Structure 1
């Protein structure tokens, strides 16, 4: 099993209805801490972090995010200049963290930046350098790549510090984070001419495969796989939609197969509307 910890930081310019800076920390895809420029505090999103950390932790985390908040304000201004933009809504994002394979002990880390929905610059941890395809990020790339101490710091955080925290959080939330919950699977269709959706919900952990069979053979045509979406209770849902004519549906034997944690759900366990 591979576990992950990541923080997603988002800065926006000129949007009144949305905080100009937000940060979400996640363990195995579950949000456990949250900060934004309106509340100006890091707050818990799960019981296990609330129960296990005290004032020092929340003060330290809030301080770090306040630092990022001012950095992001600056970053948006710099990016706008580089892209020759003077005004308007712009979004600057950073996603960083680490992964740890419980069985092999392998660790990996990432540090990805995006601007207006496109990749801006990203850390290649294996070769310890930042890479980009954007002309506008070349100055940043050159500055970061010549600073060896800066790069070493990035490596140390992702391969050691981040991993230590991830293991600590997994221990805190062991009951919820290491549990296994089987999905409920339903076949949904509005009417006979609508697409058929195979919907799996209430599953944990998040790794799930949804596939289609036609007359006993794997079927990939006209299939649209949905995004993995978190539920309020910390479980996940995912769906796959098959576009098929009523005639085709009648003439052939279509079925949905859901695989989760070594368990396969076929026709017998799937509810239909």
Structure 2
């Protein structure tokens, strides 16, 4: 459901020491079965908080959030969500008129947050709005100025730039407070997972009829923390580039992460060479599994 709602995307930093905090607000109209307003908070891609217009309260999505933040925090965040819910619904009506839309589906979104490198202590921040899947306007946090992405946003950007100068607390949030909160959340996770958790690694073979001329072998690492991991397919000890598809590092929902890499090989080449998957993680020595029948599970790769 959230994949449908949150259409704005941002490029995340790939540094091994970079953490991110982001909040996603979305108001919609004309989508049956979907709450008219949704708010989600994420740390390093893991959902930490959730609110929607049906439940009318912000709730924790991680045990370490609930354990470290008191009831006053959740009451305060709920009140902010209720305020944003009203504003975002009003903005839907304003934007319908601005885009000459009488009815149909309308989705207004906001994403904001920050990134922090725990080695260099460098920080960065962002805020942007989108309407019906297209960029609307975004904030330049260094100069605290709004930049319109389309003509319909120019008047809003002009008015907000005049108002921005009278809101010093926003500048303080993007240049310091956001990173301070992110560091606090990361410390919560560190306390819960003070020890590095090694990955479990599995090899899986697709059913033969899935790929008629090629066989797809999956190397899946899961349950590891922190999130940085490297998966390498090798042939006769040499790293493979062709025929390898590397997936993204994804959260498991319990604070740990997973990642997979697939290798495609012809049936003829499969047994002519020695293939192996090597998973490197800071929790310990590299884990190497050879492409042999006793290491393979039956997994349907789609």
Query: Is the Cα contact below 8 Å between 2:40 and 2:51 reproduced in 1?
Result: yes
TM-score (norm 2): 0.77
How far apart in 1 are the matches of 2:195 and 2:94? 44
Q: Compared with structure 1, are the counterparts of its residues 191 and 49 closer, same or farther at alpha carbon in structure 2 (3 Å cutoff)?
A: closer
In structure 1, the partner of 2:90 is 74
5+ residue gaps, structure 2, are 1-16, 298-302
1:157 to partner: Cα distance: 0.6
How far apart in 2 are the matches of 1:202 and 1:36? 29
In structure 2, the partner of 1:256 is 277
How far apart in 2 are the matches of 1:250 and 1:22? 52
Equivalent runs, 1:86-101 vs 2, <5 Å? 86-101=102-117
1:246 to partner: Cα distance: 2.1
Query: Is the Cα contact below 8 Å between 1:5 and 1:98 reproduced in 2?
Result: yes
Q: Compared with structure 1, are the counterparts of its residues 46 and 198 closer, same or farther at alpha carbon in structure 2 (3 Å cutoff)?
A: same
| Structure 2 SS opposite 1:155 | helix
In structure 2, the partner of 1:189 is 205
In structure 2, the partner of 1:31 is 47
In structure 2, the partner of 1:52 is 68
Report whether the alignment pairs 1:42 with 2:66: no
Q: Compared with structure 1, are the counterparts of its residues 210 and 153 closer, same or farther at alpha carbon in structure 2 (3 Å cutoff)?
A: farther
Equivalent runs, 1:192-231 vs 2, <5 Å? 192=208, 193=211, 194-231=215-252
In structure 2, the partner of 1:265 is 286
In structure 1, the partner of 2:12 is none
| Structure 2 SS opposite 1:16 | coil
Counterpart of 1:18 (choices 28, 34, 37) is 34
TM-score (norm 1): 0.84
Query: Is the Cα contact below 8 Å between 1:144 and 1:151 reproduced in 2?
Result: no
In structure 1, the partner of 2:7 is none
Report whether the alignment pairs 1:120 with 2:144: no
Equivalent runs, 1:152-191 vs 2, <5 Å? 152-176=168-192, 178-191=194-207
Query: Is the Cα contact below 8 Å between 1:197 and 1:240 reproduced in 2?
Result: yes
Task: Give RMSD over aligned pairs.
Answer: 2.9
Equivalent runs, 1:124-163 vs 2, <5 Å? 124-149=140-165, 152-163=168-179
In structure 1, the partner of 2:8 is none
| Number of residue pairs the alignment of both structures matches | 273
Query: Is the Cα contact below 8 Å between 2:277 and 2:288 reproduced in 1?
Result: yes
